[in-house]
A and B are shown apart, each in its own frame.
Chain A
């Protein structure tokens, strides 16, 4: 295709626009979900036994006495300047409240991803090179079963074995600040176990297909060492389609982080979200919701752009 590079740039630009439109749409949904309530937001936040004065004060504080379009315009204006209002519980700016917890969650997800990718590659290659062998069947079976289990149930079983029975690892991070790396072992294991199956199986299928591809068979016939064939030719072809899968994994890992942080009492974005929900701290809930949506949109955007660049013949962006 002669005009390929230009067409590629234009497609990438269009994909970025789609992402921006998605974020705009999601912001409207988040605002609508937290503003168009059956009843009064102030009453919902304060609960049933609030005095009328308390409700009136909170109404003014939340700006509920002003018309909806005006509130929305204000909210969008604040959003564009990174100002999402203040927490109803602590009075801190929402951005600081949410931002202060990012590090912990980034560390947890980062560690999980660093362990996940090589493990998935290893398992995928091991299973894909000998399809139907006992190793393949055992690996696939275990991975399929593990990927279905809800994070909190898996986490509990692991805590029961490694903290309760064997006493090797702490059950939660509660009762003391972040003491050491051992607090993160079980959370990372839960996140990795849950997502290993999906990625490993995608790589297994990729290896299976590429291993039989004409050019790979030809390279073997030419007498190239098996190591070179595997690392240089089979693996790249098998792993590239998994980039999309990896984006979906990061996505669902963000949901898993909410559960894992709540279970192990880790002070990250996920547990902050749950705390804000139970305190009905609506501005902070909005902040977390937008952060989650923006991350999802961003991760998918990057995955689409990267796979479009690496696999131009597949119309990823179309």
Chain B
């Protein structure tokens, strides 16, 4: 069998199992993150204060209670909101700053300036992301604002680089030159038109980056350097229950499985998408 036929067979067989598994894996945590907070009240999943800690599943609580006497099912349904919200927030900040910056860098004719800006951003690249969050927490700067800003900041160099190289691609030039010659204003040519052209690569990049950001935020929350301890974020709940693994495994394993499913699912879907794009080229 020649390489070409093998490739063709591979492309035909591709969509299907992988995509279906990915969709299911993403749907469960995503739905509980989006709809969960609205279900907790009507379903009576909030344990009254003074409820015993570490109750086994079934004792009036479907999945039991955790180390702080909270309903584990209720926690699972409310904890995804911050996971999804913070990830989207950090991604939005990174692209809101990174896209214009990348486009302007691609549009400046001055190579020296461009090189200088990229080198300056590269300093951020050598700072391990978790390190930035740890140092911020050590100096008392924690909470939603710092978390989103710091995570967005460490993504910035690679976002700027991606946008700049996509906007500076040779295939873009003739259209932009034609627009410039017909007297279109600079911002319209280099920000709007280029911006539209890089939107495709940016969306694919956002998919890959979402998993990185999600994982980084969850790790920070698990280490206790992210959200406040009274938050019901999945990773924070896991951190608070680490010592009750043997007494109330559900309080750790339910949020952990939801995080695992979300990350694995997104990566599977993005990967199939990249595969398809790669095959089409």
Contacts and interface: CB of A to CB of B under 8 A. Distances in A.
Interface of A: 22, 25-26, 29-30, 33-34, 37-39, 41, 44, 130-132, 136-137, 140-141, 144-154, 156-157, 159-160, 164, 171, 212, 251-252, 254-255, 258-259, 262-263, 273-274, 276-278, 280-282, 285, 288-289, 292-293, 296-297, 300
Q: Which of A153, A156, A273 has the most CB of B within 10 A?
A: A153
Q: Which of A212, A254, A262 has the most CB of B within 10 A?
A: A262
Interface in B156-196: none
Interface string B247-270: 001001100110110011111100
A277 B127 contact: no
A148 B264 contact: yes
Contact of B222 (A37, A259, A276): A259
A81 B249 CA distance: 49
A148 B263 CA distance: 5
A105 B98 CA distance: 35
Q: Which 10 A-B pairs have the closest CB atoms?
A: A132-B10, A148-B267, A145-B264, A148-B263, A44-B140, A277-B138, A150-B215, A153-B256, A255-B130, A285-B138
Contacts of A130: 6
A145 B123 contact: no
A144 B267 contact: yes
A30 B135 contact: yes
19 contacts: A22-B126, A33-B139, A130-B6, A137-B14, A141-B18, A145-B25, A145-B264, A148-B211, A148-B215, A151-B219, A153-B256, A157-B253, A255-B219, A274-B224, A277-B138, A280-B140, A293-B128, A296-B126, A300-B126
A297 B6 contact: no
A25 B123 contact: yes
A234 to B, nearest CB: 14
B260 A149 contact: yes
Nearest to B222: A152
Nearest to B267: A148
Contacts of A164: 245-246, 249
Contact of A156 (B21, B211, B256): B256
B280 interface: no
Contacts of B214: 150
Contacts of A152: 218-219, 222, 235, 238, 256
A53 to B, nearest CB: 21
A282 to B, nearest CB: 6
B199 interface: no
Contacts of B9: 132
A153 B259 contact: yes
Contacts of B264: 144-146, 148-149
Given A22-B123, A37-B140, A274 B223 contact: yes
Nearest to A151: B219
B201 interface: no
A263 B130 contact: no
Nearest to A295: B128
A131 B7 contact: yes
Contacts of B137: 277
Contacts of B6: 130-132
Contacts of B51: none
Contacts of B222: 150, 152, 259, 262-263
A259 B223 contact: yes
Contacts of A251: 128
Given A130-B6, A150-B260, A159-B245, 4 more contacts: A137-B14, A148-B215, A149-B215, A277-B134
A145 B267 contact: yes
Contact of B238 (A131, A156, A282): A156
A150 B245 contact: no
Contacts of B17: 137, 141
Given A132-B6, A277-B134, A153 B260 contact: yes
B126 A34 contact: no
A81 to B, nearest CB: 23
Contact of B135 (A33, A145, A157, A252): A33
Contacts of B225: 274, 277
B247 to A, nearest CB: 11
B128 A132 contact: no
B246 to A, nearest CB: 6
Contact of A282 (B139, B249, B252, B267): B139
Contacts of B43: none
B267 A147 contact: yes
Contact of B138 (A34, A159, A255): A34
A212 B9 CA distance: 17
B251 to A, nearest CB: 11
A141 B268 contact: yes
Nearest to A257: B130
Contacts of B114: none
B129 interface: yes
Given A34-B135, A289-B131, A171 B245 contact: yes
B199 to A, nearest CB: 24
